[in-house]
């Protein structure tokens, strides 16, 4: 069985959600992805996490080992390739796969429930919560203007 390393930065950092969505997934590593920023994009009041290139920022991430079955499940959940695209990047000496939102969506606000799932993962893994709060604030500023 071929496995991949999947980089999660949003709601898929929830161990509970991943256990349900990807029963064969194994948490490999807690890490940080340099050169990217966290953002919420999509509809103005129904946005989801994505990462965007930014040399001045970094994003806390989890690395999961996933099976082909798990990847197919994630593809459905992420509405790949309509809503999210896939790419690969080198991190900590290994090639990892991640999803990112397609370009035509602007910044918007996530639902409170969705945001709280990500916030709980930040707490659980002791990530710097100002990164998450900054992404939300940047969306709020765009919505206000």
Domain residue extents for the chain? 3-144
Sequence-ordered list of residues with C-beta below 8 angstroms from that of 3, at least 6 positions apart, any chain: 65, 66, 67, 68
How far from 7 is each of 24, 31, 93, 143, CA to CA, in Å? 15, 9, 13, 29
Q: Is the pLDDT of residue 93 over 90?
A: yes
pLDDT in tens, 9-67: 999 999 999 999 999 999 999 999 999 999 999 988 899 999 999 999 999 999 999 99
| Fold exhibited by the domain 3-144 | Hypothetical upf0131 protein ytfp (3.10.490)
Average pLDDT over residues 59-87: 97
Beta strands in 11-130 (DSSP E): 26-43, 46-67, 84-91, 94-101, 106-107
> Which amino acids are annotated catalytic?
78
Q: What is the pLDDT of residue 1?
A: 60
Percent of the chain residues topping a pLDDT of 70: 99
Average pLDDT over residues 135-145: 91
**Residue 114: is its pLDDT beyond 80?**
yes
Give binding residues as ranges: 6-11
* Residues flagged as binding site for substrate: 6-11
């Amino acid at each position: 069985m071929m496995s991949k390393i999947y980089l999660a930065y949003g709601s898929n950092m929830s161990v509970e959600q991943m256990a349900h969505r990807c029963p064969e997934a194994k948490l490999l590593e807690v890490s940080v992805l340099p050169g990217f920023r966290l953002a919420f994009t999509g509809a103005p009041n129904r946005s989801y996490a994505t990462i965007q290139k930014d040399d001045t920022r970094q994003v806390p991430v989890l690395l999961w080992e996933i099976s082909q079955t798990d990847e197919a499940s994630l593809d459905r959940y992420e509405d790949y390739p309509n809503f999210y695209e896939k790419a690969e990047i080198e991190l900590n000496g290994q090639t990892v796969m991640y999803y990112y939102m397609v370009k035509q969506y602007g910044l918007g606000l996530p639902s409170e429930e969705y945001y709280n799932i990500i916030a709980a993962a930040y707490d659980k893994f002791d990530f710097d919560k100002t990164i998450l709060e900054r992404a939300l604030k940047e969306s709020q500023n765009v919505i206000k203007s």
